Structure 1
């Protein structure tokens, strides 16, 4: 049996809270750290699409960035076998450069040669479907356009682990469906994927397993139908 592509063992991560100007001037005591993740353990195997669901502030985006290596844990162990690519709206682009230039930069970061990126560029531009804006600075893009291009790049480069953070929540309905269709054919995109979303409907369509995050902790995990039904019931009772 193959080893998991990604393993987290008892991971915890905290951030320092910044003081306001009033607190600095009054010499108030140092704020206690914010515990973003507490004792998280998970594994991601080849062929899996692991979903992470939770309300805003639950720690799911922090967890996705830790899996990608953007953050490092205060305690615990992170093991990644292969290349992980984080696709998060607003992350990974050089705003002053064009979409075309960003395609080549992102590809080179993942170890692709110039000829390899050049070969894949037409497919990336076609899927992103942003027309002549591919030659305009990314800072001029709408959030939907950024998302379309980022998704097209990440899924054309084909990393070992594809990490998507709320990417399919942006863009118009036709693009969202196109993105879902591409994700459902995982083996053409990556060996495994981790998908962060607050949308049970999206995760139900594409995931093989779900982790439910709440206040920095994993409170449950299992098959999509089981976890998502529990999740929906929990928040329905909360009103």
Structure 2
């Protein structure tokens, strides 16, 4: 039965042609145009009607799409891709040929018109009803739509206040809420960050499993390869090729202009500055390895493995690693890069805890770990951020639960610095994504019974549903961390540290700062956060600490030689 369902046609296109009539057939201006007698004026005067020309956007296209297929549509700009989708959606009548669609098609495009004066909430109901959902069905899906779009309390604001990315994410969430029989996506996956594109791909996979058909117009060849099992190649309105994804993509890519090879980056020359040094590395993971090699001896009790892209998870893991005295090894989409594998081999930990968080761990990660150490990875693999936070709190509870720091999933310097604050105070840091709080996280927080929850940011930045859930489940006092800024926040942590000794000056980037945080906890070294401007609050903090040595934790692009030279002026030198 399933096989038969997959073979059921959903879209049949036979000899389809679409022709537009365009005013102004002569593409080049004429003397009278230059004098102000343009096409519209001549039309009003009933002059120049011969200048109306026909544009053949689609010419004689035929294909059959079936249930369960995900079909990419590729081609140069102006090849007829979007016009073809609009015709399948019923928005443009065929000039010639026939077109049959099973069920109600839904067209999603980043340039679709929004009702700007209405709130996001009202648009959810309007859009849902247009897709055939009842009010009760929209009520049931409302929270999921808001959480998927990631717009939070902005859903109650007019759409005119949204950024283009927020509007596109909400439109995608609305358009896919009804699981349409035929879904057409026009460059929508180009909107949003990597995490949203990953969620979008999963949503499309769910639609396909529900025996739907997906059309995707995209200029991202990697996205087409990831999502589609079949591709239509359009050129100047004609269907050039229809077949398996890889076969069509190779033929299409052979017609694309060759991209020039990027010029080799010339490393920035950096002179040694007395009293300072830099943890070396060509990338942030190599910098982390450089810091680790001078901090941990082989035979550590354990280490954490976290993705460089799962920043909210990394922020939660760091205070735990600091309390335990464990290093963090960083992985990417392919697993552990050579520098992390070499550090894992050197450290020879008795435990390796992999925390996937927002990202799925690569399928061969355990094999990579097993190649260099005898232990196997212990995985904390909750599929949502709240579940990961609950897992971490339960597996590694803090001794001091009087205050727990709470941040949103979005990455920002303040949120990252709060990991340093939590580590310094030996407290927990949890991150919450979307407009709901995971039930397990609420249970765990209730059991820990904190006296206060310190939320990063202003009250209006937090969804009311999140604040209410936290308050009801814990009964804790809620406070909001709005001042000082992240650099001042980090600088204020070291008032009880005796002057002299080493100080780490870190860039505010996630990997560098969280690496510096774990080193600080093990060695007792203060960490000051700065960018390339070296603000006054940082200078005053360093003068107070009177460092005998400053270690720069950051790429040369983030903390350039000029900053290192300025830091050298702040190193206290013994009297001669």
TM-score calculated relative to the size of structure 2: 0.40
Give the C-alpha shift of residue 142 in structure 1.
1.4
SS at match of 2:116: coil
Aligned residue among 16, 22, 38 for 2:21: 16
1:57 aligns with 2:115: no
Match of 2:114 in 1: 93
Deviation track 1:51-85 (CA, whole Å, cap 9, x = no partner) reads: 10112111101111111011110111110111111
User: How far off is 1:93 after superposition?
Assistant: 2.5
Contact 2:23/2:53 (<8 A) preserved = no
Distance 1:136 1:189 in 2: 33
Larger Cα-atom Rg: 2
Distance in 2 of aligned mates of 1:125 and 1:106: 13
Q: Which moved more, 1:131-140 or 1:188-197?
A: 188-197
1:6 equivalent in alignment to 2:22:
no
Q: Kindly tell me: are residues 122 and 238 of structure 1, through their superposed partners in 2, closer, same or farther at Cα, counting changes over 3 Å?
A: closer
Moved more, 134-143 or 60-69: 134-143
**SS of corresponding position for 1:235:** coil
Corresponding residue SS for 1:156: coil
CA distance in 1, matches of 2:231, 2:161: 36
44-53 or 11-20, which deviates more: 11-20
8 Å Cα contact 1:161/1:190 also seen in 2: no
Judge conservation of contact 1:49–1:195 (CA < 8 Å) in 2.
Answer: yes
Give the corresponding residue for 2:171. 150
CA distance in 1, matches of 2:41, 2:132: 48
Deviations 1:111-151 (A, max 9, x none): 21100111011100000001111111112221111111011
> RMSD of the TM alignment (CA)?
1.9
Please show how residues 102-113 of structure 1 align to structure 2 within 5 Å: 102-113=123-134
Q: Does the alignment pair 1:33 with 2:54?
A: yes
Which residue is equivalent to 1:128? 149
| More deviation, 218-227/139-148 | 139-148
1:57-206 correspondence to structure 2 within 5 Å? 57-91=78-112, 93-187=114-208, 191-206=212-227
- Residues 33 and 76 (structure 1 numbering): CA distance in 2 closer, same or farther, change over 3 Å? same
| Residues 168, 176 of structure 1: 8 Å contact kept | yes
1:200, distance to aligned residue in structure 2 (A): 1.0
Instruction: Tell whether the 8 Å contact from 1:52 to 1:210 is kept in structure 2 after alignment.
Output: yes
Structure with higher RCO (Cα < 8 A, 6+ apart):
1
Residue 147 of structure 2: SS of its match in structure 1? helix
Structure 2 unaligned regions, length at least 5: 25-32, 261-576
Instruction: Call closer, same or farther: CA 1:185–1:158 in 2, change over 3 Å.
Output: closer
SS of equivalent to 1:112 = coil
CA distance in 1, matches of 2:125, 2:92: 24
CA contact (8 A) 1:158 1:190 kept: no
Q: Judge conservation of contact 1:183–1:189 (CA < 8 Å) in 2.
A: no
Structure 1 CA distance for aligned equivalents of residues 245 and 208 of structure 2: 20
TM-score by length of 1: 0.93
What is the distance in 2 between the residues matched to 1:75 and 1:8?
11
Matched residue, 1:226: 247
- Contact 1:90-1:146 at 8 Å conserved across structures: no
Q: Report how far residue 3 of structure 1 moved.
A: 3.7
CA distance in 2, matches of 1:44, 1:165: 17
Structure 1 residue 187 displacement after superposition: 3.3
Moved more, 153-162 or 44-53: 153-162
**Alpha-carbon spacing, 1:190–1:143, altered in 2? closer, same or farther (3 Å):** farther
Whole-Å Cα distance in 2 between the matches of residues 88 and 129 of structure 1?
18
The answer to whether the 8 A contact 2:11-2:100 is kept is yes
Which residue does 1:48 correspond to in 2?
69
Is residue 17–residue 94 contact of structure 2 (8 Å, CA) maintained in 1? Answer: yes
